[in-house]
Amino acid sequence: MKRRGIFLALSILVFALIFATGTGTAEEKIAKIAVYGPMTGEHAEYGLGFRYATELQVEKWNKRGGAGGYKLEVIVFDDKNNGEEAATIAERVVEDLDVVGIIGSYVSGVSMAATPTFQEAGLVNISASASHPDFTSAGDYIFRNNTVISVEGASTVRGVDKVLGAKKIGLLSIMTDWGRATAAIMTKLIEDNPNLTLVIHEECTDGSDDYSTPIANFKAAGVDAVIIVGMHNTFVPFARQYRQQDPKIGLAAFANLYDDQVLKLGGEYVENTVFPVAYFNESDEPNIVEFRDAFHARAGKNPSSLSAQAYDAAGMICEAIEKTKSNDRAKIRDYVANINYDGVGGEIKFDSRGEAQKVFMVLQIKDGKFVKVD
């Protein structure tokens, strides 16, 4: 008898749910934006960042009454950073015809298990984080709103030249795939700049504690500034050891320095360092302030540049729905491909391969703070 009671209760619940959702769709038109990524596990902070950013963008539009006559909804999928799950999610998402676009996933390898499905079904996919050089090669429905290292590196070189005014440059790079590839790009960029000369290139292991050998070599070569191709676990100890010997040495690095940890760990030794960013929380532009505060309220911390890129990706899809007044996937793609979007990460448009052409600003550390200088 008890079992029958539970069964009855369950069936009522199920019917109630079907009924509830059934009446909902009858009244207004719905367009869904999907977001997928690692929502659990060690990379969950990135997936959740994408999720919050997408939700905030959609809520912003819904407050204004939706986009193009559609009420917007976000659907979230956890791929736990696994390609098989990503591919299954892709299959599931493309069959839901209310979905007009999908944002994610986090890692290139996982995303690329899903992109063939998006491409075949014709659903716009914008990645806010993929770094694989061929990510967008799956087809014309696949876009990337993330930086390419050659564009980012050019801004580092600009900072060294314009802000630090250095002439003789040393290059330090970590011995990883990324480090070697980036060092090759940087070498070319420095050589192409008439004001700068690359005098010495040193390599080190990722996250080493002792940089006395490269520092001695840099000093012997008489460099004005060093560009560090590495994460902040390399940058901070290197800066500390170099500045203890020569407080005036110029330092420059990459967008990954945009992290409060660097200020905390580096203290006085990282002062005046320059590096490029595409997104800057401390900006006083109203759309950035709005996003930062809303994100902070939801996530309890400031958005990373990847979350900001997801926010803009969602914004582009929303704008496409608004402007085309349609949930037709092909129309949405055409609109996104030719978009000129003014987002929190600056002006964004895509080239013919679907790569975002982003403009970087240069930040400098001054009095223990990040300051925009160029």
Which of 77, 295 has the CB closer to other proteins? 77
Alpha carbons 155 and 140: distance in angstroms, whole number: 28
Q: Taking CB under 8 A as the rule, does residue 113 contact other proteins?
A: yes
Both structure tokens of 62 = 């819904």
Measured between its terminal Cα atoms, the distance across the chain in Å is 75
What mask of x and - would describe binding to other proteins in positions 135 to 154, judged by CB under 8 A? --xx----------------
Choices 65-73, 105-113, 202-210, 326-334; region in contact with other proteins by CB under 8 A: 105-113
DSSP reduced 3-state for 349:
strand
The CA radius of gyration of the chain, in Å to the nearest whole number, is 24
Q: Give me the DSSP letters along 21-40.
A: HHHHHHHS-EEEEEEEE--S
Which residues 18-47 are close enough to bind other proteins by CB under 8 A?
Answer: 39-41, 44
Choices 52-60, 134-142, 146-154, 363-371; region in contact with other proteins by CB under 8 A: 134-142
* Residue 156, number of CB atoms within 10 A of its CB: 26
Contact 73/59 with Cβ under 8 angstroms? no
Which of 134, 260 has the CB closer to other proteins? 134
DSSP reduced 3-state for 333:
helix
Which residues 41-80 are close enough to bind other proteins by CB under 8 A?
Answer: 41, 44, 77-78, 80
Which of 69, 109 has the CB closer to other proteins? 109
Q: Give me the DSSP letters along 70-81.
A: BEEEEEEEE-TT
**H helix or E strand, kind and range, residue 356:** strand 356-357
Residues 6+ apart with CB under 8 A from 343: 287, 308, 311, 312, 315, 316
Q: Which of 71, 132, 298, 331 binds other proteins (CB under 8 A)?
A: 132
Choices 28-36, 132-140, 186-194, 254-262; region in contact with other proteins by CB under 8 A: 132-140
Q: Taking CB under 8 A as the rule, does residue 134 contact other proteins?
A: yes
Which of 114, 262 has the CB closer to other proteins? 114
Minimum distance from residue 37 beta carbon to other proteins (Å): 12
Q: Which of 53, 112, 174, 257 binds other proteins (CB under 8 A)?
A: 112
Q: Which of 33, 35, 107, 344 binds other proteins (CB under 8 A)?
A: 107
Both structure tokens of 276 = 């490029």
**Which residues in 176-273 belong to E strands, given as ranges?**
197-204, 225-229, 250-252
- Residue 358 carries which DSSP code? -
Minimum distance from residue 181 beta carbon to other proteins (Å): 11
Which residues 83-102 are close enough to bind other proteins by CB under 8 A?
Answer: 83-85, 87-89, 91-92, 95
Please give the residue ranges that form the binding site for other proteins (CB under 8 A).
39-41, 44, 77-78, 80, 82-85, 87-89, 91-92, 95, 107, 109-110, 112-113, 115-116, 132-134, 137-138, 177
